Chain A
Amino acid sequence: MTSRDDILESIRANLPRVDRPVPHVPMFDEDPPASLLSAFKDSLERMGGIFLAPPASGDVLAPVRVKIAGAKVVCSTVPELSGSRDIATVGATQELADVDFAIVRASFAVAETGSVLLSETDLNINALAYLAQHLIVLLDPADIVVNLHHAYRRPEFRERHYASFHTGPSATADIEGVLIHGAQGVRSLSVLPIPRNHQPQPTSPQEKKHD
């Protein structure tokens, strides 16, 4: 008998003889915050993330440009900004170890927790979001859901190979409870709200893209 059959047989022999129906899970969304973006901002900052406020006029991407100005290696997977290393030319994941800043766009975000969801489609190479020293995430304010119950109804969890909620930067407090950012992964995570169809000089109207 295989281990599989052995284990399943042992489970069947030991199943508790009690009736426990599967419960229904409500959406818990009766009392949503007035602004999902500002609720997201508050949660993000509580978790150690940095919210980049776009200037009221002029270059929306200016806060990002300021951040990456002194960086040696910048790797971007978004059309809005180009870095010094083209992700398309990266072969092995290990080649990303010297990236100072990675710039990516989130699939969506969760107001309740301040999380952004990054999947293989957003990252191109998953390890980018962990080997880089700092991570900058672009987020369309239209892509924020109120809580995790809504989040788990999104299609990403059925369609993508890999999907990870990032809620602030890599953190640890394993030594006497002292908070450290950048235990193994990124030392900082910044989020810039900017619509997907944002164009500095719009030439033609573009459809808002959702996936």
Chain B
Amino acid sequence: MLHPEMVGAEDTQAIYRDGHRLDHAEGASKPLRSRPEPQPRGAKVHGNRPIDQAEAAARFIASPEHEKMHDERLWDLRQKRDREMHHIPEWEELRSLASAIKEHTLTHLDEYLDQFEARARANGIHVHWARDAAEHNRIVHGILKDHGAKSLIKSKSMLTEECGFRPYMASAGIEVIETDLGERIQQLDKEDPSHVVVPAVHKLRTDVAKVFADTIGTDPDNSDVHYLAEAQREATRPLILAADAGMTGGNFVVAETGTFVVCTNEGNADLSGNVPKLHIASIGIEKIIPRLEHLAVFVRLLSRSALGSPMTQYTSHFRSPRKGGEMHVVLVDNGRSERLGLEEFWTSLKCIRCGACMNTCPVYRRSGGLSYGATYSGPIGLIIDPTFNARKYSNLPFASSLNGSCTNVCPVKINIHEQIYAWRRELVKRHDVPLVKKAAMKAAGELLSRPAAYRVAIASADVALAHLPRFVIYNGLDAWGKHREVPHPPKQTFHNWYKANRGGEQ
């Protein structure tokens, strides 16, 4: 189907046009080169038992090539985001608008969902409602059964990950083919996505070469990225052409027009939505916004925050089925309406899944998304995962240094680090905190509530830190010293300095 002489005709030219390396979309500003090293696997999941994020992170850190590439790549995205932000004089105003639009919508969510449903129906879209993951999967299965569909091409959707959609479909005998390159790599490797925007970001090119050699028959010794991507394109295209149905998620839903919007860089949502006759979109109820004029604010923020590009290569608006086609939208709750009632956490529903908080998070960059053992990782994951299962994800709110960088980059101004801190308090109240952390926090809490004792303790702790042998600081009981080098203690506490230099206690 591909004419050999056409392949790659424009490609090299496009990547180094006029001697400049293009860095739009997900491209890095500088090429990264790594040496082969086996890929560390993610967190071990045992039913409902608390995920040991620290254990998986330690294994990631113990693989220096992976840790370095991951850290540099994500920091590169963070820097490109900063560059974009400085290009837009109204950046802070856009963030405030985005936050205000989302808060308005969330406080009128029932009305806007109602409006969307009416408009979408009038446009010829079938609208379904799913209380939870199981109902979502049942509904989609039902639609596929009605059409005798046996294969489905889909574009990346965190909601379907949340619903365990692929395993469900596998058990129902329906073949699901991911069309996003990163997500396809993860599917072929039987791994979950490790990042909401770049699902295979934790893998080296040699890891991908191994997966493709085992699954689509590429040369195991060739880890050239262009070769690998081309091989995947050629292997996936016949599956796309033969699929019975297509599935997408939705980044935004416009109540006023009954439209849903999907943003991708590969155009794979457009293939999924436009090649087969049947198009199903699974969308979380919090994705709704009131009007088209609001959409402009979010489209301007999304890719700039995510990848540091002005826009995703494709921003597609589906308002009604095409001629001869059929379109279904499944609106999914799965805990969202309940989260709306959590006074400290409801604004986490403003999230547009740009991943900026992950790219900037020092813990995420060094531990890899799979160490969280959850669909949502990184700072936003720490907030929403415990709402799915407070016991299983009880360790996660502790995987943060609370430095606030996530809050600073969030395009919808979620107070992420404050909510992470709020979860720690909440988990202590619910007795869902691991014992060692509990004892340490209790002591700290008592100390922090008495300023005089705190100052004495700090002074003596610093003296102790300066003189104690390493094994006392870095032992099994000290969770803090486990994965960190404890900073060198200052010669003088700030309080003592203040007393000496600014004179007198008030």
Contact = CB atoms under 8 A, between A and B. Distances in A.
A210 interface: no
A173 B25 contact: yes
Interface size class on chain B is: 35 or more
B124 to A, nearest CB: 9
B9 A187 contact: yes
A22 B11 contact: no
Interface string A157-190: 1101111111111111111111111111111100
B103 interface: yes
Contacts of A182: 11, 233
A176 B69 contact: yes
A18 B105 CA distance: 12
B450 interface: no
B14 A169 contact: yes
A2 B139 CA distance: 13
Most buried by B among A21, A72, A162: A162
B482 interface: no
B3 interface: yes
Contact of A181 (B14, B23, B320, B339): B14
Interface in B247-304: 257, 259, 265-268, 270-271, 273-275, 285, 290, 292-297, 299-300
Interface SS, A side: loop
B237 interface: yes
A170 B265 contact: yes
A76 B198 CA distance: 34
A11 B292 CA distance: 24
B177 to A, nearest CB: 11
A161 B320 contact: yes
B290 A22 contact: yes
A94 interface: yes
A87 interface: no
The listed residue with most A CB atoms (<10 A of its CB), out of B25, B108, B340, is B25
B15 A181 contact: yes
B381 interface: no
Contacts of B32: 176-178
B210 interface: no
B8 A187 contact: yes
A46 interface: yes
B441 interface: no
A23 B19 CA distance: 44
Contact of B267 (A23, A148, A170, A176): A170
B233 A183 contact: yes
Interface of A: 2-4, 6-8, 10-16, 18-23, 25, 28, 31, 43, 45-48, 50, 70-73, 93-94, 97-98, 100, 112-115, 120, 126-127, 129-131, 133-134, 147-149, 151-153, 157-158, 160-188
Pairs of residues from A and B, 9 with the lowest C-beta to C-beta distance, nearest first? A185-B267, A14-B341, A177-B28, A179-B27, A173-B26, A174-B182, A188-B10, A10-B337, A171-B25
Given A115-B315, A167-B313, A174-B199, 9 more contacts: A15-B341, A16-B343, A19-B107, A168-B313, A170-B314, A173-B26, A173-B27, A183-B265, A185-B270
10 contacts: A133-B6, A148-B296, A160-B319, A161-B320, A162-B320, A162-B322, A172-B266, A173-B28, A176-B73, A176-B225
